[in-house]
C-alpha cells in the first residue's frame, strides 16, 4: 500500500487524505483506519509530509554536503576545528 500511496502523491502533487482514500478504495471505516496508520508510519519515517493546510506531499530529501571552503585542524579539546575563510570557526 505504501508504494501505491507514493505513486498517487507523486502523480497528483498535493492531495488530501479524503482524496487519497477515495483513489485507493479505502472509504470503509476499517480500511480508512488502516490508511491512517500507514500514513502515520510513513510520516514518522519521513517518506511523506503533512502540510499546514492538511494536504500530503512527498518528503524531499536534501543532500548533505561538506563545506567546500575552509580546512580542518585537529585539536585536543574537540574532534576537529573547522576554520572558514570568513573567520568563522566551528568545533566538531
pLDDT tens string 49-90: 988 888 899 887 666 665 556 555 666 666 665 555 555 545
pLDDT > 90 in the chain, percent: 35
Cell 479505502 locates to 26
| CATH pick for 2-58 out of 1.20.1050, 1.10.10, 1.10.3470, 3.30.450 | 1.10.10
Cβ neighbourhood burial of 32 (10 Å; 0-12, 13-18, 19+): middle
- What mean pLDDT do residues 2-22 have? 91
Domain with CATH 1.10.10 in the chain: 2-58
Q: Model's pTM, two decimal places?
A: 0.62
Amino acid at each position: 500500500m505504501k508504494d501505491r500511496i507514493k505513486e498517487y502523491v507523486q502523480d497528483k502533487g498535493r492531495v488530501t487524505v479524503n482524496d487519497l482514500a477515495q483513489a485507493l478504495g479505502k472509504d470503509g471505516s476499517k480500511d480508512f483506519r488502516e490508511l491512517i496508520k500507514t500514513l502515520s508510519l510513513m510520516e514518522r519515517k519521513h517518506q511523506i509530509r503533512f502540510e499546514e493546510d492538511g494536504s500530503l506531499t512527498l518528503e524531499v530529501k536534501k543532500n548533505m554536503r561538506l563545506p567546500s571552503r575552509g580546512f580542518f585542524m585537529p585539536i585536543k579539546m574537540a574532534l576537529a576545528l573547522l576554520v572558514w575563510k570568513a573567520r568563522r570557526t566551528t568545533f566538531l
